[in-house]
C-alpha cells in the first residue's frame, strides 16, 4: 500500500486566517439572496481611483506586460522616494526601496533575511495574525507579548528590554495598528529602535495604513530612525487591494541580499500594477484619496458613538486605519461563537478578536461601509444583543 506525502511540520504552527473564512461564509449567504453588512474584512468599499485604473489600462494597451527588475520599476521607486520627501520631509535613496507583491511580500523578504531556525521575533498581542504565521513559515518563533490599553496596545522599549533574549533578532510593530488603529509616537519609535540596537536586533515597522490617520499629522518611522525596515502598501490608503502591490524601505546594508531574495521568491512585482501605481502619487489622485480619508474619519466618529451608546467599550479610540477594537464582554465571553450567530441570524459579518490573539471577548469592527450601512449594522447588532439577554 502506498503512503501519501506528508506536509511539512511548520504547517502545524500556521493557523487559518478566520476573517477570510467569515468573508467566504458571508459571500455564500449573499449568493443565496441575503443582505449582509460587511464589517469584517480590512478593505475599503471605495473602488480604486479612476486615474490609477486608467494608468493600468494604458500600460496594457502600450504592451507593458513584461517582467520588470526584481526590485521594481525605477520610475516607481523614484516616485515613492519623492512621495516621502514631499509628504513627510524625509529623503530616501530610491535604491533602498524594493517594490513587492503586496506588503506580505515585503514582510516575507525581511523575515527571510533576518530569521533563522528558532530565532525569535517580538510581536504585540493583539496583532495581525499573518505576521506571526510568516515568522513560523521561516521556522522562527513568534514571541507574542500581551499588551493593553495602558500602552495603546503597542509594544514599547520596555517590552523589548523585558522579553528579548539571545535568540531575538527583531521586533515587529505596526503604526497604525491592526486591529486597534492606534499609532506609535515618534519618540516611542525612536526608543524602540534604540532598544533593538542595544541588543543587536532589527526593528520592523508596518506602515501599511499610513495616510489613514485622524486628528494628527501624517508621519513615518523614517523621520526618526534610518536603520529600520519599513513596510508599506498600495492596498489601504491608495485603495489598490486587488492589485497586490507594496514596498519596503530597507537599511542600505540589507539591499543586496533582499534583491537576491526577491529574484528567487517573486522574480518581479506585478508589472501592470506597478505602471498603474505611478498614477497614485498624482495631485488629482491624492486629492481624491484625502477626501476619502475624511469620509473614513466621519465613519469612525459615527460608529464610535453608536457603539458607545450600546454600552460597548472601545478601550482606545483609534487614531488610524479603519477599525474599532471593541470589548463585547458585557454580552458574551465567546466572540467567535457570537460572530457566527450574528452572521447567520442578522446578516452582519464581524471579526472575532481571537483571530488577533488577545481577549476572546473582543471584536474588530471595520468601518468600511457607508454611515447608513453602519447604522443598519448597529441596529441589527442591538437586536442580537437583546435576543441574547432574553
Return the domain boundaries, the chain.
9-47+285-385, 50-282
- Segment 135-175, tens digit of pLDDT: 999 999 999 999 999 999 999 999 999 999 999 999 999 99
Residues 6+ apart with CB under 8 A from 72: 97, 98, 99, 100, 247, 268, 269, 274
**Per-residue confidence (pLDDT) for residue 3, from 0 to 100:** 81
Task: Count Cβ atoms below 10 Å from residue 16 Cβ, excluding itself.
Answer: 10
pLDDT at 48 over 70: yes
Residue entry with cell 463585547 = 328
Q: Global pTM?
A: 0.95
Q: Return the C-alpha cell found at 260.
A: 537576491
Q: Return the C-alpha cell found at 80.
A: 515613492
Residue 386's φ and ψ, nearest 5 degrees, are -65, -40
| Coil, helix or strand at residue 194 | helix
pLDDT at 227 over 50: yes
State how beta strands 141-146 and 120-125 pair: parallel
pLDDT at 108 over 70: yes
Q: Return the C-alpha cell found at 25.
A: 461564509
- List Cα–Cα distances, 123 to 38, 41, 126, 178, 307, in angstroms: 28, 22, 9, 12, 28
- Is domain 50-282 given the CATH code 3.40.640.10 in the classification? yes
Least confident of 94-98, 298-302, 381-385: 381-385
- Segment 66-84, tens digit of pLDDT: 999 999 999 999 999 999 9
- List Cα–Cα distances, 220 to 7, 90, 210, in angstroms: 40, 9, 8
Q: What is the mean pLDDT of the chain?
A: 95
pLDDT at 347 over 80: yes
CATH of span 9-47+285-385? 3.90.1150.10
- Segment 243-287, tens digit of pLDDT: 999 999 999 999 999 999 999 999 999 999 999 999 999 999 999
- Segment 171-207, tens digit of pLDDT: 999 999 999 999 999 999 999 999 999 999 999 999 9
Rounded to an integer, the average pLDDT of 232-237 is 98
**Per-residue confidence (pLDDT) for residue 9, from 0 to 100:** 85
**Per-residue confidence (pLDDT) for residue 388, from 0 to 100:** 58
- Segment 13-43, tens digit of pLDDT: 887 777 888 889 999 999 999 999 999 988 8
pLDDT at 10 over 80: yes
**Per-residue confidence (pLDDT) for residue 390, from 0 to 100:** 42
- Segment 286-302, tens digit of pLDDT: 999 999 999 999 999 99
Amino acid at each position: 500500500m502506498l503512503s501519501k506525502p506528508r506536509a511539512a511540520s511548520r504547517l502545524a504552527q500556521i493557523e487559518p486566517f478566520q476573517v477570510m473564512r467569515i468573508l467566504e461564509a458571508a459571500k455564500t449567504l449573499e449568493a443565496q439572496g441575503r443582505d449582509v453588512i460587511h464589517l469584517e474584512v480590512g478593505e475599503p468599499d471605495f473602488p480604486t481611483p479612476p486615474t490609477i485604473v486608467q494608468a493600468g489600462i494604458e500600460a496594457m494597451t502600450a504592451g507593458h506586460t513584461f517582467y520588470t527588475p526584481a526590485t521594481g520599476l525605477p520610475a516607481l521607486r523614484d516616485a515613492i522616494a519623492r512621495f516621502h520627501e514631499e509628504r513627510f520631509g524625509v529623503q530616501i535613496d530610491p535604491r533602498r526601496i524594493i517594490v513587492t507583491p503586496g506588503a506580505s511580500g515585503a514582510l516575507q523578504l525581511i523575515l527571510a533575511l533576518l530569521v533563522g531556525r528558532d530565532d525569535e521575533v517580538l510581536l504585540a498581542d493583539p496583532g495581525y495574525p499573518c505576521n506571526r504565521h510568516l515568522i513560523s513559515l521561516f521556522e522562527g518563533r513568534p514571541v507574542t507579548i500581551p499588551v493593553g490599553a495602558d500602552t495603546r496596545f503597542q509594544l514599547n522599549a520596555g517590552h523589548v528590554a523585558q522579553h528579548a533574549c539571545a535568540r531575538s533578532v527583531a521586533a515587529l510593530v505596526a503604526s497604525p495598528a491592526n486591529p486597534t488603529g492606534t499609532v506609535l509616537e515618534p519618540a516611542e519609535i525612536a526608543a524602540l529602535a534604540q532598544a533593538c540596537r542595544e541588543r543587536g536586533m532589527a526593528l520592523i515597522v508596518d506602515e501599511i495604513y499610513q495616510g489613514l490617520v485622524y486628528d494628527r499629522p501624517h508621519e513615518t518611522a523614517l523621520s526618526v530612525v534610518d536603520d529600520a525596515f519599513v513596510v508599506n502598501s498600495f492596498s489601504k490608503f491608495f485603495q489598490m487591494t486587488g492589485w497586490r502591490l507594496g514596498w519596503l524601505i530597507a537599511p542600505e546594508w540589507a539591499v543586496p541580499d533582499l534583491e537576491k531574495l526577491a529574484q528567487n521568491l517573486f522574480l518581479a512585482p506585478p508589472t501592470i500594477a506597478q505602471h498603474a501605481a505611478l498614477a497614485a502619487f498624482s495631485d488629482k489622485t491624492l486629492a481624491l484619496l484625502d477626501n476619502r480619508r475624511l469620509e473614513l474619519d466621519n465613519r469612525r466618529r459615527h460608529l464610535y458613538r453608536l457603539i458607545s451608546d450600546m454600552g460597548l467599550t472601545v478601550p482606545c479610540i483609534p487614531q488610524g486605519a479603519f477599525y474599532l477594537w471593541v470589548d463585547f464582554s458585557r454580552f458574551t465571553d465567546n466572540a467567535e461563537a457570537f460572530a457566527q450567530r450574528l452572521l447567520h441570524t442578522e446578516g452582519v459579518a464581524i471579526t472575532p478578536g481571537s483571530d488577533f490573539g488577545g481577549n476572546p471577548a473582543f471584536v474588530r469592527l471595520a468601518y468600511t461601509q457607508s454611515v447608513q450601512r453602519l447604522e443598519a449594522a448597529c441596529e441589527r447588532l442591538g437586536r442580537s444583543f437583546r435576543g441574547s439577554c432574553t
